[in-house]
Structure 1
Amino acid sequence: MRECGTPSVPSFYALRKKQASLVADISNLQPRHHISALGNHFYMNHPIDLISLDWANPFVREFIQIYPEITENVSESWQADKFTKEINDQLTPMWADWKLASYKHFYVNEVAQLQDGRFVLPLRWIIFNKEEHVEVLFLSQNELAEFIVNDPEMKRIPCTDLKYNYLDLKTQFPDLKFRSKSLNLRYDIQVMMPHPVRKIANGRPAFSIRIMPWADDVSGNRSKQYNAHMNVYVANVNLPHRKLSQEYFVRFCSTSPHASSSEQLEALAEDLKSDKWNEAYDCKLNEEIIFQMHGHLLPADNPQQAEHTSTAGANANLWCRGDDSGGSDEHRESNEGYHALFEPGIPRTPEQTIKTIKDQIWAAGRGVQDAVDKIQTKTGVKDRTASFWIQQMIDKARQIQQDRLTTEATRDPRLNDKKVKGPDRESIKESIKAAIQQEVFDWVLTQPRERYDRLPQNSHKYIWHETNKVWDKKKDAQFAIRLQSSSTDGLSLSPLRAHYMVQYKNSLIGKHFKALQQLAVFHLHGGLCSKELFDLWKANGELGALIWYPEIKDIDKYLADLQILLDNVLDLWAVFDPSRIQYKYKLHVLSHLKADILRFGPAVLFATEIFECWNAVFRLCSVLSNHQAPSFDIATTLAGLERFKHQVSGGWWKNGNGDYIQAGAKVRNFLSNNKELRRRLGLADRSSSPPGFVKLVSKAKRASLLLHDAHPNFNAETQQLALISSDDLESRKWADCRYVVSRSGDVCKPDSWVFFEKMPLDVTRLCWQGTSSPKTLAGRIFKILSPEDAREDSGLALTIVEHFDVSSTNDNHFGMPILSRSGGVEIVKAKHDCFSGACGTTEDIVIQGRDRTTRTQKTISHSNDSRFVLNMHALHNANLIRETLPTSLYKPRPLFSDRRAKHDEIAAGLRVTGPKKRVAQKEKSKATRAKNKAKEANR
């Protein structure tokens, strides 16, 4: 800037000093130092400081959902069972009518009076029928002026029916009395007057918020050399999924190349104490509030979740982190044991896990590793932090035992008496070992010393591998050509790099598997896989589409369909490889998906894809750091990013005088008006254009035509379009458009497959229809036209859609609906039926950069375009597609009528092949050890 002649440019030191000052001012966003239970040092930007910014940020506060919602359609976390049925004590305790100038705070478990004079005890605030309601018990007063329960049944009434709160009633009834013994009904509650939070709030609103922490190991390098860091991020679960799927709403907490996720999450848990309330500024209410934060769920991959739940992992006998499934090889091969792998077992509980860990720690004080191993083998519980100290306890106990039991110079004097023999001597040894055990146990409670001194005094991957591992180079090329020729319109996928995916087929990442799940089934004909694998691909694709539902309208029907598809996938794996479910934990964990969706909502809500995308931001910070103190440096850098994001978003913060302020209008408008900055901060919403909005092609490419020239097959029937305004449309000139926005918000271009609704006078407009109506048709867009003299948002545009009929029966090979040309048009996610059609290859010109070359590459050439199949494996709009189609075309059907009989049959075969394999494995291992020993001897 100085070289360009800009005046008054601050020095780099002054810039950094000002940035640090702003970070300190905004919610004290300073990385805090922590020492873990294993003695590792790291720094954390605490979630409580980060989430407090959400209340003061207008880009975020508008979308925060305070109360749980009772609704038939489940699309958000606050509509699922955990929010609506499990966490009463952690919900927001108060409500107020913010529309009134002088609003009153109503709290749960405080007697209140309704507009009609009746007394009630509020139990919980909820959203019902899109309005705020309260669940109450009706009260009456007895002869002693005590409030007692009138009706033991909870009632749901609008919050606006409330008139007087506790403070009002205390004024009217100075000697107010009540009793609580009859209130222990459907809720385990205790009547409190006043509510304890009322005093803490001191007139300020009090809210509760829930977060979703996520941890994973990430490389801090861009090169192939892996530079392991363990990262922890959080997301605000009270925000809708459409927001949480954007990087803007991901919050970085901490990273460390040394401290594990469990160590860092322990520090994060400091913010989740049930009695901790925190101040923030609510930019919607324009006043200071207090809020409490709770953990809602902890998504992670399997190794991370095994560590978080203190289980021994996928290789343990009792391998499941959620239940007691598993057992020895012999048990898994029994009829009961094998069948049990396909279903959830008895749930683990935190109390059981904690007790088991304490038992292991106590057993370690005897200095015997086998005692600890037996407990871990029996229970499947193995805690990473405890294991670190258990090993030190065993070593310490053995050393003390050596000193007090064996070494003559230092051992207990009672053991030097040679007259003490037999049971008496063993009794003395046992008492010494017991004392050592207690001593070592007491010692470990004080470790590490620095922390103790601070205490108060008082896959999709598996099916892809099984398919391609037998391919040669010719089949690799054949599949790559087919895959690259796939149309990705309507699938929300990145551009396919099929040849790259095949070349590095054993090193793919999530986005590659996402593409394969939706497209691979159409290209596996011609000897590329067996029938068993193809059936598994079909079942896997159907399950994936159902799991990807963003909204569940009928939870019972959805879960019933989900159970059938889950069973089919697991059973097909059992048919393909009977032993796979014994050793691949990811298959068993599918059996828990139904219960997880019921508790937490649609599976996409707890997907980790956005966190993994955010790793790129972390990696850039790591690459640009000096690598001397990565935990502190990266936390500091990202705290600065949070500060910048908060200020340009128009967020508020408290200045040195105690006043809440925000940046000036020009700074705030910078984010609103700058699309590039919004993109870089990860705030990139889908098209906000209204349905029916069209985008014209550029003037240089724009053609002008009459309506009857728009389609080569226009006939008397289609020309009825002119009846809309016979005086105008026949002579009006029309221009081509690039796209039109559908009712579902999708950008649809010419050749896009859509469902459309035929309106009166044959005016065609794109839509999504909730039911299978005769007016709802399938088709493919031929042209999008707008009057030359009209604006893009005028609503005068017409979409010409070629109509396709949906067959009443599915394709025999793919099991998907068939689309046939009718002289009109078809649907939004359809793929050409390459199996039934005679498809060959042709050659296209290769483009390198922007230059055309003389080289060619093979691609698919379709013999006809009159028959298509509808891709039911597509993830985007999977729920809308199924709502439009007849149920008979997509309803899941069980693979086996008697699953248990099939599992018993497979288990019987495993009892024959399993022992043989284990014997062969032992012999192979023995031979390998002998070979290695011989090599070592010959050196």
Structure 2
Amino acid sequence: MAIQGFTSVPQADGQDRYICNTCGGRDMNLNYLTRHVNSSVHQRNLLSIARGQNQASQSTLVGVLPGNAQNNFDVESDEGLNPNDLWYPFPAKECFSLDLKDIIAHEISNPYVNKHMEFYPHECYGKDIYALHQSAKWRECLSRETRVQMVEKANKHYYIFEPVTLKGPAQDIVIPIYFFKIKNSLYAKCIVPKLKDFPTTELKNGQPQIQLMIPQNIDYNSSNLFDIPVERFDLICSEMKWGDGTPFMDKIRHQLSCINVPNPWRHKAKGKIIRHVPITLYADDTSGNQSKRWNKHISYYFTLSGLPPVFSNMEYNIHFISTSNVAGALELGESIVNQLNQLATDGSCAYDCTLQQEVLFMTVPLCFLADSPMAAEITNTPIPGNCNNPCRICKLRVEAAEDRRGIVKYMVRDFMGKLTEDQRHEMEARLSSFNSDALHIHPIQAKYMLDHYKSFLGKDLRTIVQVAPFIFFPFMNQTELDIWISLCYICSMAFQTHIQDMDAYLAELESHIKIFMYNVVKMTAQWSKKPKFHMLLHLPASIKRFGPASLFATEKFESFNGVVRNAAIQINRHSPGHDIAIIFSNYQIEQLLVSGAHLYDSTVQEYFKPSDKVTDVFSRNPLIQQAMGYNSTALHESQYPRVKDTHVVQANLELVPEDIREMYPNQQVWQVSRKSPVPEPWEHIMCAINLGSELKVCIFCTGATVCGPGNSTRFQSNAVSICNTIALMENVKLKHPHASNANDKKVIQ
């Protein structure tokens, strides 16, 4: 078959092959020919011929076709290579993603989100830390180009690295370097510039110009910086004039050392307020099947870092970006990186529903979260054990193992593997009897825990760490107890969502980590080279940089994998990445409409808002809110934990049992409650003994001691499992309090 511009070469199999007369490409079948015709190189060569230029010589052709005997392309320049071209060595895979700038712009226009967002970092001086907007990373560690650029006060826009004057007769000149908040008031870290005269002929009056000089790369904690409230700012640089009437900008030649003045973002904003909207990015692989058959999908999600944790943990505020079952994490992330670079350097417009005006927002990824395998792939260290530097934080050089199990999993597998058959039965009884209400989890499946302890998930390990003091400790020797006690201390501190004093918290955490590492090395050396044990040493530094560990935990994103999986099973699987992206795009549109977001109508070129009848579907229907992942009950501050009211009415007061008075003769004992957890007429009272450094809780049946001197140590329990402790006690007989004689006494073991 003859095709214009191509030479047909008959083959023995009867199928013609084609040679491109323009590019010289050879040995193409019809499929390859179609792709070649649409390639950018072929189109460029045709354009050159149309302009009257001679056909490019074979030595300057860009690209090579499969099967061509000669690789005729210029090896010194690869700008003609395109991943979509046929001859590209690594053909591109189709990837589909939602537009980051549109998602973030819609969130700024969403009244359910905007009113809770923080656009400026907060300075708390290490006190009362609970959110990412209080993190040192946002406040101190961003580069000059990506940190908060401006603040608005009294209809004036003040930018960093632009001279401003302070209110007062002296009209002092300062230069803001960092913007932040202290107790919801805007402040700036400012420096006083040095002035240097030098002669010039550029000014009309022949006066010397002024050069403003400041140190380079000024650190946030530099002693040269001063905290100044933004309310004290007066004139911006364009309003300032020298004593002789010369505009200040002309006097300094529109430069601050080597930095151009005004700030380039002032030109980009064009009078708009700039919103700083950092995000928390996440990548993970999950299965697209509900069955056990693995169907790997790599997905990217993100949340807005400016939201408090109670809101960012909702599925309503977790946003899907992209997924693919054929592309790798880096291939999929290429377009996301390009979008982030554009938002960080140029920004994008959005409608701020709080300000009721259009704003410019800029975005930077505050942190990137992933599990160990995905983090290794993103950092190009897929096998940390074979890397020169297996730790991605410090310059550790060890022969780390390929095993990526966590610390708690090592400890659980070691402990559970040593249990005898009798101990396993007792362990099952203890797990079944534990009251898990206070942990806000479902009742513990004891048999599952014992049978599948080698394949625990993160939620299982968190449960084990919390119940270990009441379930595991009776089976341990002193060496194991030392390790587990220190481990439980570390976990209890890592689970904290609110840090009252950062310095004291970090000092205590580092102390417990050192104690734990010492106990581990003392017991066995087999874990000393495990990567996760080394990573534990970096936990305090990460908490200091970002805040409580829960802020950079991956659990909320891992739970969102189920949402993506539900979308994956409803498509025809011809193009999962495309179809899943369409599903989440439709979901986002529906979410914005019922939430009352301000959307842009390109026809009339103005913003509009859905009517109240549309928004009432969401605002007045908790079931719809729940279906969209919005938890309205989380908006109100929880009343827990709180000190329990220990007042007992006079009619229920009991005398302090003799055993308690004899056991603690010099301690204060008081009754805190009276309950009936077992069938009537069995009753017990709960007593608390103040021992100074600890508060011990014991149960007493009327007239008989349940936790006596011989058992109080072994069967110590917390208040949440106190009712079920009776079922665990061996060889402790409880006598009926109202039994009149020995024959009527009933015994429960």
For normalisation by structure 2, the TM-score amounts to 0.69
State the match for 1:679 in structure 2: 626
Residue type of the alignment partner of 1:520: A
Q: Deviations over 1:593-641 (max 9, x none)?
A: 1221121221111000000111111111011111111111111101111
Question: Which consecutive unaligned segments of at least 5 residues does structure 1 have?
Answer: 1-33, 185-189, 333-458, 694-707, 717-776, 784-800, 811-816, 824-832, 840-857, 866-939
Show the counterpart of 1:92: 148
String of CA shifts for 1:111-149, please: whole Å, max 9, x gaps.
Answer: 222221333222221112431111222468878574757
SS in 1 for 2:392: coil
Determine the structure 2 residue equivalent to 1:575. Answer: 522
Partner residue, 1:58: 111
2:349 aligned with 1:279, yes or no? yes
For 1:558-637, what aligned pairs fall within 5 Å after superposition?
558-582=505-529, 584-637=530-583
Q: CA deviation at 1:563?
A: 1.1
> Residues of 2 paired with 1:131 and 1:779: CA distance?
48
1:273-302 Cα shifts (integer Å, max 9, x gaps) = 142311111111111111111112112111
The DSSP-based 3-state class of the residue aligned with 2:234 is: strand
Secondary structure at 1:560's aligned position in 2?
helix
Deviations 1:718-751 (A, max 9, x none): xxxxxxxxxxxxxxxxxxxxxxxxxxxxxxxxxx
Aligned to 1:548: 495
SS in structure 1 opposite 2:224? coil
Alignment of 1:220 with 2:159, yes or no, is: no
Pairwise CA RMSD? 3.6
Alignment of 1:641-790 (within 5 A): 641-656=587-602, 657-686=604-633, 710=649, 712-714=651-653
Task: Compute the TM-score of the two structures, normalised by the length of structure 1.
Answer: 0.56
The Cα shift of 1:208 comes to 2.3
The counterpart of 1:107, out of the listed 159, 173, 177, is 159
**Cα deviation per residue 1:85-129 (whole Å; 9 max; x = unaligned)?**
2114212211113xx5xx111111122222213332222211124
8 Å CA contact 1:485, 1:859 repeated in 2: yes
Indicate if the aligned counterparts of 1:271 and 1:293 stay in contact, CA closer than 8 A: no
Q: Deviations over 1:887-920 (max 9, x none)?
A: xxxxxxxxxxxxxxxxxxxxxxxxxxxxxxxxxx
Question: Which of 435, 439, 448 is the equivalent residue of 1:487?
Answer: 435
Q: Which amino acid aligns with 1:632?
A: H
- Which residue matches 1:854? none
Change (3 A) 1:324 1:108: closer
**Are the counterparts in 2 of residues 220 and 227 from structure 1 also a CA contact under 8 Å?**
yes
Deviation at 1:43, TM superposition (A): 0.9
Match of 1:82 in 2: 137
Change (3 A) 1:125 1:324: closer
Q: In structure 2, which of residues 172, 177, 180 is the aligned counterpart of residue 126 of structure 1?
A: 180
- 1:175: Cα distance to partner? 5.5
CA distance in 2, matches of 1:167, 1:565: 55
1:230 to 2:298 alignment: yes
Structure 1 position 481, deviation (Å): 1.6
Give 2:458's aligned residue.
510
Q: Give me the whole-angstrom Cα distance separating, in 1, the residues matched to 2:296 and 2:712.
A: 44
C-alpha distance in structure 2 between counterparts of 1:195 and 1:224, whole Å: 56
Q: Distance in 2 between matches of 1:321 and 1:503?
A: 35
What corresponds to 2:235 in structure 1? Answer: 164
Q: Deviations over 1:410-451 (max 9, x none)?
A: xxxxxxxxxxxxxxxxxxxxxxxxxxxxxxxxxxxxxxxxxx
In the other structure, the counterpart of 1:807 is: 691
Question: Structure 2, unaligned stretches of length 5 or more?
Answer: 1-82, 198-206, 216-222, 402-406, 641-646, 656-668, 676-684, 702-710, 718-725, 735-749
SS, match of residue 70 in structure 1: coil
CA distance in 1, matches of 2:515, 2:214: 51
Return 547-556 or 609-618, whichever deviates more: 547-556
Q: Match of 2:226, as an amino acid?
A: K
Residue aligning to 1:48 = 101
Q: Matches of 1:687 and 1:196 in 2, distance apart? A: 41
* Structure 2 counterpart SS, 1:253: strand
Rounded to whole Å, the distance in 2 between the matches of 1:162 and 1:126 is 14
Does the C-alpha gap of structure 1 residues 161 and 51 become closer, same or farther in structure 2, counting only changes over 3 Å?
same
SS in 1 for 2:624: helix
CA deviation map 1:393-419 (0-9, x unaligned): xxxxxxxxxxxxxxxxxxxxxxxxxxx
Alpha-carbon contact 2:302-2:321 (below 8 Å) kept: yes
Amino acid at match of 1:196: P
Q: Give a deviation string over 1:143-180, Cα, whole Å, max 9, x none.
A: 85747579993221111112222343379753544559
Give distance in 2, aligned partners of 1:288 and 1:115: 30
Q: Is the 8 A contact 2:194 2:214 kept in 1?
A: yes
CA distance in 1 between counterparts of 2:533 and 2:633 reads 34
Q: CA deviation at 1:194?
A: 1.6
Report the AA paired with residue 139 of structure 2.
T
Distance 1:461 1:175, change over 3 A: closer
Q: Corresponding residue for 2:33?
A: none
> Secondary structure of 1:214's match?
strand
Q: Hey, which of these two has a bigger chunk of helix by percent?
A: 1
Q: Are the aligned partners of 1:234 and 1:253 in contact in 2 as well (CA < 8 Å)?
A: yes
User: Residue type of the partner of 1:84?
Assistant: R
Q: Determine whether 1:501 maps to 2:449.
A: yes
Q: What displacement does 1:472 show?
A: 4.7
State how many pairs are aligned.
570
Indicate the SS of the match to 1:563: helix
Shift of 1:838: 9.4
Contact kept, 8 Å, 1:118 with 1:139, in 2: the verdict is no
Match of 1:460 among 385, 399, 408: 408
Q: Distance in 2 between matches of 1:715 and 1:476?
A: 39
Partner SS, residue 550 of structure 1: coil
C-alpha separation in 1, matches of 2:568 and 2:454: 27
Q: 1:192 aligns with which of 235, 247, 260?
A: 260
**One-letter identity of the residue aligned with 1:108:** I
Distance 1:118 1:781, change over 3 A: farther
Q: Which residue matches 2:318?
A: 250
Distance in 2 separating the partners of 1:38 and 1:573: 49
Partner of 1:818: 696
Q: Contact (CA 8 Å) 2:386, 2:399: kept in 1 or not?
A: no
The percentage of aligned residue pairs carrying the same residue is 23
For 1:864 and 1:253, locate their aligned partners in 2 and report how far apart those are by CA, in whole Å. Answer: 62
2:396 corresponds to: 325
Taking structure 1 as reference, are residues 560 and 146 closer, same or farther at Cα in structure 2, changes over 3 Å only?
same
Q: Distance in 2 between matches of 1:231 and 1:44?
A: 10
Matches within 5 A, 1:31-46: 39-46=92-99
**How far did residue 182 of structure 1 move?**
12
The answer (yes or no) to whether the contact 2:137–2:546 under 8 Å persists in 1 is yes
Q: Is the 8 A contact 1:180 1:191 kept in 2?
A: no
Judge conservation of contact 1:137–1:154 (CA < 8 Å) in 2.
Answer: yes
For 2:592 and 2:670, locate their aligned partners in 1 and report how far apart those are by CA, in whole Å. 45
Task: State the shift of 1:535 in Å.
Answer: 2.6
CA distance in 2, matches of 1:242, 1:262: 31
- Cα separation, 1, equivalents of 2:637 and 2:372: 42
What is the CA distance between 1:643 and its match in structure 2?
1.3
Q: What is the aligned partner in structure 2 of residue 836 from structure 1?
A: 714
Tell me if the contact between 1:256 and 1:630 (Cα under 8 Å) persists in the aligned partners: yes
Contact 1:542 / 1:565 at 8 angstroms: preserved in 2? yes
By how many angstroms is 1:802 displaced? 7.3
Instruction: Answer yes or no: is the 8 Å Cα contact 1:806–1:820 preserved in 2.
Output: no
Q: Secondary structure at the match of 1:712?
A: helix
